[in-house]
Amino acid sequence: MFRLIAITSPDFWPGEAQRIVQLLAGDIQLVHLRKPGSDLESCAGLLASLPEWCQRRIVVHDHLELRDRFPLHGLHLNGRHPEPPVGYSGHLSCSCHTLEEVAVRKASMDYVFLSPIFDSISKKGYSAAFTAAQLDDAAARGIIDYKVVALGGVTLQRIPQLQRWHFGGAAMLGSVW
């Protein structure tokens, strides 16, 4: 199954909880709550405003302790939180920015993000890091597979190309908000 994942914008905004519900009621399987620099209670407030069925489809990037307060889908590791909490055995994903990193990290993760695949929509000046030839080669060698989710400039129109490169999913930020 090809995963469709939405990543929240870094800032909170009015109507965000309702939009998350709409996305999860549609084609989006998971929402990654990514609010770098936010405080714990603001994130908890957003989660508390969601119905439980939505909370179960949220993966948090920060304030990993929220897993103790809400029935979250899982945790996402990144530069701010490179290791899971001690004793954690639930769903894990992480961010990767090289094919070498993907080859190493995907074995211990439920899935990994690889970015940027295309020029970013939401981050100005954040350009694609891979050529089509590099992605063709990575797909042929099995580096890109069902555990690798494309991020960066992803739109619904680009999904057929991502599937040809054997990506297991697409994560979208700029195109869904």
* Per-residue model confidence as pLDDT tens digits over 64-76: 999 999 999 999 9
Q: Residue 100: what pLDDT? A: 97
Roughly how many angstroms between the first and final C-alpha of the chain, as a whole number? Answer: 23
Instruction: With a cut of 80, say whether residue 105 has pLDDT above it.
Output: yes
Q: What is the C-alpha to C-alpha distance for residues 27 and 33, in angstroms, rounded to an integer?
A: 17
pLDDT digits (tens, 9 = 90+) for 41-90: 999 999 999 999 999 999 999 999 999 999 999 999 998 889 999 999 99
> What sign for the dihedral angle of Cα 149, 77, 92, 51?
negative
177 has a pLDDT exceeding 80: no
* CB distance 38 to 62 below 8 Å: yes
How many angstroms separate the CA atoms of 82 and 73, rounded? Answer: 18
Buried b (16+ CB within 10 A) or exposed e, 22-34: ebbeeebbbbbbb
Average pLDDT in the chain = 93
The pLDDT score that the predictor gives to residue 79 is 87
More confident residue, 154 or 124: 154
Looking at residue 9, what DSSP letter applies? -
Task: Give the C-alpha distances (Å, rounded to integers) separating 40 from 9, 29, 141.
Answer: 16, 24, 41
Q: What confidence score (pLDDT) does residue 128 get?
A: 85
CA pair distance 62, 78, nearest whole angstrom: 9
User: Would the pTM of this model clear 0.85, i.e. be above it?
Assistant: yes
